[in-house]
Structure 1
C-alpha cells in the first residue's frame, strides 16, 4: 500500500471515529467546535509520521530523534487544540444546594473535576501516533520480508544458472574426448556417438532451461550417455539398469543425477570388464523418487583432475537449493564398491 493510500485510510478512520462520537452527543455544535482542532492535528500528525518521521527517522534507526520530535508534536498539538475554541466550564458551586450558612473552618463541598482538556487531547493524539507507528512498522516489516524473499529467489536463480553452466561444459568436455578417441576406431560408431551426443545436447540446451523436467527425459539422457560410452568398444560391459516409473509425468530438476552416473563410470574401471560392475536404479512413486548407483572400485589409485570434481559438488549445492529438507543423500565408500543413494520427496 502506497504512502498516500495509507494516509487517506488512517485519516478516514479517525474522521469516522469522531463522527460517531459527535452522533452520540446528538450533533452538539459545541462538541464539534471544541474537538475540531484535535482531529486536524491528528491528521497532520499522521501525515508527518507517514511521509517524514517513519521513513526518515524510525526506519533509519534514529529512534531518539523520532521520539523527541513525536512527543514535541503531540504536546504542542494538544496545547493548541485544547486552548483555542475552548468553551468555559460551568462554575463549581461553592455551597451544597439547600445549605446557605456553613460555619467557617468547615471545608465546602467541591465535586471531583473531570480530566483536563489538554490531557484528553494529549491522549487522543498519542493514541493516533502509536497506532500509526504500529501500522507503518508492520507494513515496513512486510515489505522488507517480501524484498528479502525476492532477493533470495533471484540469488538462487542466479546460482542455479551458474551451477548449470559449470555442469554442461564438464559433460561436453568428457564426451568430446570419448568421440575423439572413437573416431580412430570406427566411422560408423562415431556417427552413432554423434547422434547420441546430439540428443543429449538437445536435452541440455532446451529442456534444461526449465526448472523441472519429466523424469523420463532425465532417464533418456542417462540411456544416451550409456550408449555413448558402450559404442567405444565391442565389449559387453557389465552395466545393469533398472527403471521403475509408477506415475508418468513426475518431474525432477534437470541434470541432477547424471553427475553421479558420470562419476561412477569414471571410477569403476569398467573398461577392463573383468571383476567390475556398474548398476543404476531409478524408482519413482507418487510422491518420491529414489535413485541409486553403485560401481566397483578401481584397484589402481586414480588421479582426479580438477574438472572431474565439479559435478558432485554442484549437485550437492543444487539439492540444498531445490530440495531443502526434502532430500536424503547417502554416499558410501564400501570396501569393494562405491554407492550413492538419493531419495527425493516430491510433496
Structure 2
C-alpha cells in the first residue's frame, strides 16, 4: 500500500468516525462544522507520520526521537485546536438550571481557572486524546507495513542464499564424479582399448547429464537411474572380474522427478568403501522403488575389514547430499544410515509430487 493510499484510507476512517459521532446530536451539521478543524489537524498528523516520522526516523530505529517528536507535534496541534475553540464548547459558561429548581438551590460558585487550567480544560484534553489516538493508529499501520516489507526482504534473502548454496553444492559434486570417472578410464586404458572406448561412451552420457540436465531444479528419475547405471558400467569395465553388484530399479511412472545428483553420492560411497574389487566376501545392493508419491532408495554394501583410505575430494559426498536434502526436501524425506556387522546401509524415502 503506497503512502497516498494509506493517507486516504485513514482520512476516510476518521471522517466516518466523526459522522457516527454526529448521529448523537440533534444539529448534526453544526456539530460537523464545529469539528471540521480538528479533522484537518488529524490529517496533518497522518501526513506528518506517514511521510516524515515513519520513513526517516522510525524505520531507522530511532524510537525515542520518534516518540518525542510525535508527542511534541500532538501537543502543538492540540494547543492550536484549543486556541480556535474547536470541537467542544467552553466549560466556563454557567449551567442553565431549570426555572422550577432555581428557587430551591442557589447556583454553586465556579472556581476560577488559572492560565494553565484554562488550557487543560475539557476541550483541550479531548482534542489531545483524539490526536493521540490518530497518531497511534497511523504509527501502528506504518510499523505493520514496515515489518511486512522487512519480512518479505528476509524471505527473498533466504531464498537467494539457498539457491547460492545449492549451486555451490552442485559445483562440489560434479568435479568429484568426473575425477573418479577419469581415474577409472585411465586404469582401463592400460588393459583394453575396446573397453576404453565403451567407457568414454558411458562417460559422455554422464557428462551430458551433468552439464545439461543438472542445470534444472528437477530431473526425471529415469535419467538419474540411467546415470547410476552408466556409473556402474564404467566401473565394471575396469576389469573382467564378475563383481557382486545387484541392482533392482522399479520405476513404472516416467513422470517422477527428483533433484539431480541426489542419489549417486550414496552409490559412489558404496563403491568406495565396500572393497568390491576383492570380489570375495563383499557385495553391493542398490534398489529403487516408486509407490504412489514416494521414492524408496536403498543402498547396502559390505565394509572392508581393514578400511579404505579416503581421498580428500571424496570426503564431501554424504555431507553434501545431507545438506541438499535439508534444503530441497524439508520435512519431506526420511534418511536412515546404519552400520552393523561390517554392513553399511542407506535408506532414503522421498515425498514427491507426480505431474
TM-score (norm 2): 0.88
C-alpha displacement of 1:201: 0.9
Indicate yes or no: 2:321 matched with 1:319: no
Q: Is the 8 A contact 2:273 2:307 kept in 1?
A: no
Q: What's the counterpart of residue 114 of structure 2?
A: none
C-alpha displacement of 1:101: 4.6
Q: What's the counterpart of residue 77 of structure 2?
A: 77
Q: Is the 8 A contact 2:90 2:123 kept in 1?
A: no
C-alpha displacement of 1:167: 0.4
Q: What's the counterpart of residue 225 of structure 2?
A: 219
CA deviation vs aligned residue, 1:50-106 (integer Å, no higher than 9, x gap): 12222233233322222221112112112212321548659434654135656xxx6
Q: Is the 8 A contact 1:75 1:122 kept in 2?
A: yes
Separation in 2, partners of 1:246, 1:40: 72
Q: What's the counterpart of residue 204 of structure 1?
A: 210
CA deviation vs aligned residue, 1:136-160 (integer Å, no higher than 9, x gap): 1111111111111110000000000
The runs of at least 4 consecutive aligned structure 1 residues that moved more than 6 Å come to none
Task: Kindly report which structure 2 residues correspond to 1:21-100, keeping only aligned pairs within 5 A, or say none.
Answer: 21=21, 28=28, 30-84=30-84, 86=86, 91-93=93-95, 95-98=97-100
- Aligned residue for 2:330, secondary structure, equals coil
**Structure 2: stretches of 5+ with no match in the other structure:** 111-120
TM-score (norm 1): 0.90
CA deviation vs aligned residue, 1:207-230 (integer Å, no higher than 9, x gap): 111111121111111111111111
RMSD between aligned alpha carbons?
2.4
Identify the range of structure 1 (1-10 vs 11-20) with the bigger mean alpha-carbon deviation.
11-20
Q: Is the 8 A contact 2:305 2:342 kept in 1?
A: no
Select the residue among 264, 277, 284 that pairs with 2:283: 277
Select the residue among 245, 248, 251 that pairs with 1:242: 248
**Structure 1: stretches of 5+ with no match in the other structure:** none
Kindly tell me: are residues 98 and 233 of structure 1, through their superposed partners in 2, closer, same or farther at Cα, counting changes over 3 Å?
same
Q: What's the counterpart of residue 309 of structure 1?
A: 315
Equivalenced residue count is 341
